[in-house]
Amino acid sequence: RCSSPLPSAREDIVEMFSWGPQRMAKSLTERLRAREAHVRVIEYLVRHQPDLIDLANRVKRRCSNDLRLWPSYQQWSEVYNEALWESARPVHWDGGAQLWPSFEKAVRRFEEGSAVLLEEFRSAGGLQEEHDEGLHLTGHWTVIYVHQGDQCEREDFPRTCELLDEFEKHAGILSARFATLHPATKVAMHTSTSNQRLKVHCGVENPDGVSMQIGNETVVWQP
C-alpha cells in the first residue's frame, strides 16, 4: 500500500492492472501501452516510495513472468525492440568483445585517454549543473555536458572531443557528459528508456570507491 499516491499514480495503477490474463497485450501497440503503464508505476515506486522496493520488484516480475513484456524483471524499458529479445546481452558481459568488436575497441581507446579526461574535467568545475532527470533520491549529482547530438564543446574540452571523435569512428554517440556523485548521494534504480543503446560509464576519478549495481552485480569505477 502506497502512502498518499499522487492522483496520476492512482490512474497509472488502474491502467496497469487493466492488463492481465483477461486482456493480454498482443499487438506491438498494445504491448507498448502495457509497458508504459507498468513503467510509470515502477518509476513512481522507486523514486517516491523507496521503502517499497519489494513491491516495485513484484510489479517488474509481473511484467516479465506473467505478461512477458520483457525477458528480465531487471530491465523495464518503455520502448523495447523485441527482435533483440534472445540476442541481447549486457555490455559488461564476458563475451562482449565478440558480440560488439568495434564497440569494444572504441571503449578501450577511450580508457587509454582517461588522464586527458580527468585534466579537462578538473579545469571545468564551474560548468557543473544539477542532474535534472530526477534520479537521485538524496544528495547532490552534477553533470557537465560535453557532446550532444552532433555538437562537441571543443572550446572547453578540446582533447576530450578528440577522444570522442576517435570513439565515433567505431560507435555512434548520442551524448557524452561528465557526472559527479557528491557525498551521501543515492541514485534510484533505473534503466534506459530503450533497449537499443549502450551506455558507457568511464570512471576518471573515484577516491571514495563509489559503486553501482548492474543487475545482480556490484561494480566499482576504476580510473
The DSSP code sequence of 122-174 is HTTGGG-EE--SS-EEES-EEEEEEEETTEE-TTT-HHHHHHHHHHHTTS--S
Beta strands in the chain (DSSP E): 129-130, 136-138, 141-148, 151-152, 175-181, 186-187, 211-214, 217-220
pLDDT for the residue 115: 87
Note whether 2 and 49 are within 8 A (CB): yes
Predicted local confidence at residue 8, as pLDDT: 65
Whole-angstrom distance, CA of residue 112 vs CA of residue 98? 20
CB 144 within 8 Å of CB 128: yes
| pLDDT at site 1 | 38
What is residue 89's predicted lDDT score, i.e. its pLDDT?
Answer: 66
Which grid coordinates belong to 56?
516495485
By the 8 A CB rule, do 99 and 71 touch? no
Q: What pLDDT score was predicted for residue 223?
A: 67
- Beta bridge partners of residue 147, listed in sequence order: 152, 176
Tell me the β-bridge partners of 158: none
pLDDT at 134: 78
Give the CA dihedral 210, 211, 212, 213, nearest 10 degrees.
-160
- Per-residue model confidence (pLDDT) at position 4: 47
Please, what is the Cα angle at 73 between 68 and 79, to 5 degrees? 65
Q: What is the pLDDT of residue 22?
A: 67
Give me the residue label for grid cell 582533447: 159
- Across 162-194, b (16+ Cβ under 10 Å) vs e yields ebbeebeebbebeebebebbeeebebbbebeee
In this prediction, the residues of the chain whose per-residue pLDDT falls under 50 are 1-4
- Report the relative pairing of strands 175-181 and 136-138 from DSSP bridges: unpaired
CB 46 within 8 A of CB 38: no
Confidence at residue 98, expressed as pLDDT on a 0 to 100 scale: 67
